[in-house]
Amino acid sequence: MGASAPVAAVTGATGFLGAHLVRALHDAGYAVRALARREPSAPGWGEARPEVIPGTLEDESALARLVDGAAVVVHVAGAIKAPDRAGFMAVNRDGAVRLARLSGDSRFVLVSSLAARHPQVSAYAESKRAGEEAVAEILGRERLTVVRPPAIYGPGDRETFAIFRAAAASPVLPILSPDSQYALVHVEDAAATIACLAGRSAPGVWALADDRPSGYGWREILGAAGRAVGKRPALAATPRWVLPGLCGLGLLSRDKAGELLHKDWSVRPHELAPGAPAPRWGLEDGFAATVSWYKRAGWLR
C-alpha cells in the first residue's frame, strides 16, 4: 500500500463483519487503521495489514489517534448482547457519539442495523436508532452515511451458525414466527457495499440485502439451511406462547424474541443505496459456501 493511500479508520475491525470490511477496504486502495482492545493474532484480515490502535470506544485518546487524518471513519463496533437497555445504550449510542465528536472533517459511515427501523421492538433496536440520531445531530445528515444491514451470515459467523448446527443435528426445526419476512445478506456483499459507500459522499440511511430484498420466511431459511448441510429436517410451527418460556429458561433473550416476532424485516427498493455493487451471493449458494467454511474450520462435520 502506497504512502499516499487514503486512510480508512475502522472500529469493530476484529469482529465478523469488521474483518471482512478491512479486507474490502484494503482491496479498494485504503490504508486501514483499526481500533482493537489488543494486538490481534489471527483476525482474518487476509493480506490486509492494518495499523492497529490499541484501545476501546471509551478511550478518547485512542479514538483521536484512530481518526487522525482519516479520509473516512467507518464505525462498525457495537453491542448485540447486553444485560439491559443501559448496556446497549452505553455502546451503541454513547460509543458512536464519542467517535463522531472526534472525527473532524472525515466522512463518517455508521454501520447500524435494520432493527433501527423499528426501535420499539427491542432495547438493541432502540439503541441503534438512538446512535443514528445522536450522530446525525453532531455531524449533520449531509456528512453522515448510515448503513442498516439485516441479518448477516457467512464464514466465521457464530450467530447464524446456530441455525446450521440445528439443521445438521435435529430432525425437526421450529418455525418461530411463520408470518415474518427476513432480508438476509452475505458478509462479503455487506462488506463490499460498505466499502463502496465509504469511498464517496453518500449521505442518507441505506439498507443492505441480497438479491431478494423482500426477504424470506422461516420455512425458506430453514429449508435452505437443511439442504446446505445435506439434511431435510421437518419444520414445525411453534406457538407464540413457547417463546416466553424459552426466555424464562434463559435460552432466548426477551430482546431477541421481540425481534424474531416482528413480521417485517424486508427491505424496500428505495432503501437500497443507489450505485451499490450487485450482491454476489443468493440464499442457496451463500448458505452452501458458508457450510463449506464451517466444515473446513471444524465447526460442522
End-to-end CA distance of the chain: 39
| 163-218 confidence digits (pLDDT tens) | 999 999 999 988 878 889 999 999 999 999 999 999 998 999 999 999 999 999 99
Q: Is residue 88 part of a domain?
A: yes
Q: What crossing angle do the helices spanning 254-261 and 123-139 adopt, rounded to 10°?
A: 80
Q: Is residue 132 part of a domain?
A: yes
Of 244 and 151, the structure prediction assigns the larger pLDDT to 151
Sheet of strand 107-111: strand arrangement = 51-54, 31-36, 7-11, 72-75, 107-111, 144-148, 204-207
* pTM (2 d.p.): 0.92
pLDDT at 242 over 90: no
Q: Is residue 97 part of a domain?
A: yes
Instruction: Write down the residue that cell numbers 427501523 correspond to.
Output: 117
Angle at 160 between CA 159 and CA 166, to 5 degrees: 110
pLDDT at 246 over 60: no
| pLDDT over 90, % of the chain | 81
Question: CA–CA separation, 243 vs 230, rounded Å?
Answer: 28
Q: Is residue 45 part of a domain?
A: yes
pLDDT at 110 over 90: yes
pLDDT at 292 over 80: yes
List the CATH number of the domain containing 60.
Answer: 3.40.50.720
Q: Is residue 170 part of a domain?
A: no
Per-residue model confidence (pLDDT) at position 248: 47
Provide mean pLDDT across the span 221-230: 96
Q: Is residue 206 part of a domain?
A: yes
| pLDDT over 70, % of the chain | 92
Question: CA–CA separation, 13 vs 5, rounded Å?
Answer: 19
Query: What is the pLDDT of the chain when averaged over all its residues?
Result: 91
- Of 37-46, 68-77, 154-163, 172-181, the one with minimum mean pLDDT is 37-46
| Region of residue 212 (left: phi > 0; alpha: psi -120 to 50; beta: else) | beta
| 113-149 confidence digits (pLDDT tens) | 999 999 999 999 999 999 999 999 999 989 999 999 9
Domain count, the chain: 1
DSSP state at residue 296: H
Query: What does 69-106 look like in DSSP terms, one character per residue?
Result: T-SEEEE----S--SSHHHHHHHHTHHHHHHHHT-TTS
Per-residue model confidence (pLDDT) at position 116: 97
Structural domain of 147: 7-157+184-212+267-279
Question: CA–CA separation, 107 vs 100, rounded Å?
Answer: 10
Provide mean pLDDT across the span 71-87: 95
Confidence grade of residue 41 (pLDDT, cut at 50, 70, 90): low
pLDDT at 61 over 80: yes
Provide mean pLDDT across the span 245-252: 49
Instruction: Write down the residue that cell numbers 438512538 correspond to.
Output: 130
Residues 6+ apart with CB under 8 A from 133: none
Kind and range of the H or E element at 246?
helix 242-248
The per-residue b/e assignment along 231-246, b for 16 or more CB within 10 angstroms, e otherwise, is eebebeebeeeebeeb
Beta strands of 106-213 (E only): which ranges? Answer: 107-111, 144-148, 151-153, 172-175, 181-182, 184-186, 204-207
Single-letter amino acid, residue 154: G
Q: Is residue 148 part of a domain?
A: yes
Q: Is residue 98 part of a domain?
A: yes
Provide mean pLDDT across the span 85-89: 96
